Amino acid sequence: MIDIANYDPNSVGNPNNNIFGLPSTEDNSLLVILPVPWEVTVSYAAGTARAPEAILKASLQVDLFDPEMPDAWKQGFYMRPVDKKILMKSDYLRKEAELYIDYISKGEEVQANQFMCKTLKDVNEGSSFMNNWVYEQTKALLDKGKLVALLGGDHSTPLGFFKAMAEKHGEFGILQIDAHCDLRTAYEGFNYSHASIMYNALNEIKNLQRIVQLGVRDYSCDEWEYIRNSNFRVVTYFDKEIKHRMFEGQTWKQIADEIVSKLPEKVHISFDVDGLDPKLCPHTGTPVHGGFETEQVFYLFSKIQQSGKKIIGFDLVETGVSESDWDANVGARILFKLCNLLVTSNS
């Protein structure tokens, strides 16, 4: 794929190159990363729409040697440029959504305010536009024989991605790493809220066999009931449950093996960085105390790989942007691990 004859992987990352400093193009790369700079419905802190550009910059500091998958990068990783029109649309609708959220948070009736009714309509239509755009971009890449990954943006972004993957691969499951269930119905009135991504996926994608959720520690009673009544289409490993099992003597290996056994043969990884301990990504949209260390999650990834199950895609979402670039640094390293995992699983 990449012409590495004159490329030194030990050299300083070249800012004129692509992701991780690689001299890659879309044509000579097996894996294409689709950035989606969208954060219209975030309900707490904003900033994740600019995460793709921040992660691209931070990725130049990532060493290309991964002892578990040392040559994976040679297959070619390429990140498309951020679509400025999508970013501008997100920025505009985000301002509208902020006014709307402030309005309803005070107990005001939406139907009593014509402006708020229009705002809600505009946001919902904008989210539908984004979903379709992601679907079309993903489908076109899959039709070219590319592996595809999505880099958000908030967690509402991968619905169109899931739909294209379902058409390509048939039945599959999602491994969701997240502090939240994301099973709310039209949260705050937004049909395609970041807090509704998994609810929408389950209701709109027939080929989605199961979602296995890890690290959840902030959820509503409605989401709890949804899980209980899902007939195991949603299997949730709550953060408290995992930690209690480990406090009482179970190993992470035992729990990880159990998690892998719950996954279908084809797996998409949906990685919301708020599933991690917030010291790792403190500027994520809705941080919650608790969560995983990256090493725990990477260990689980290795167990999935060893099991023979196939990773078909991934999304990495909700990385915050800060002056320190710490979140982007962590995000870039997670992205590199996921890229290596995806190409290795499909080699």
Q: Is 90 within a domain?
A: yes
Q: Is 1 within a domain?
A: no
Report the C-alpha gap between 54 and 64 in whole angstroms. 18
Query: Which residue type occupies 5?
Result: A
| Angle between helical axes of 252-262 and 294-307 (0-180°, round to 10) | 50
Handedness of CA 94, 132, 335, 305 (dihedral sign): positive
In the chain, how many domains are there?
1
Q: Among 347, 341, 328, which residue's Cα sits nearest to residue 19?
A: 328
Give the pLDDT of residue 324.
Answer: 86
CATH of residue 272's domain is: 3.40.800.10
Q: Is 323 within a domain?
A: yes
Query: Omega before 153 cis (within 30°)?
Result: yes
Report the C-alpha gap between 138 and 159 in whole angstroms. 11
Q: Is 7 within a domain?
A: no
Q: Is 334 within a domain?
A: yes
Query: For each successive 10 residues of the chain (347 residues), what is the average pLDDT?
Result: 65 85 93 96 81 96 93 94 96 90 84 88 94 98 98 96 98 98 89 94 97 97 96 97 98 98 98 97 92 97 96 97 92 98 96
Residue-number span of the structural domain to which 130 is assigned = 19-345
Per-residue pLDDT tens for 295-311? 999 999 999 999 999 99
- CB-hemisphere CA count at 13 Å for 51? 37
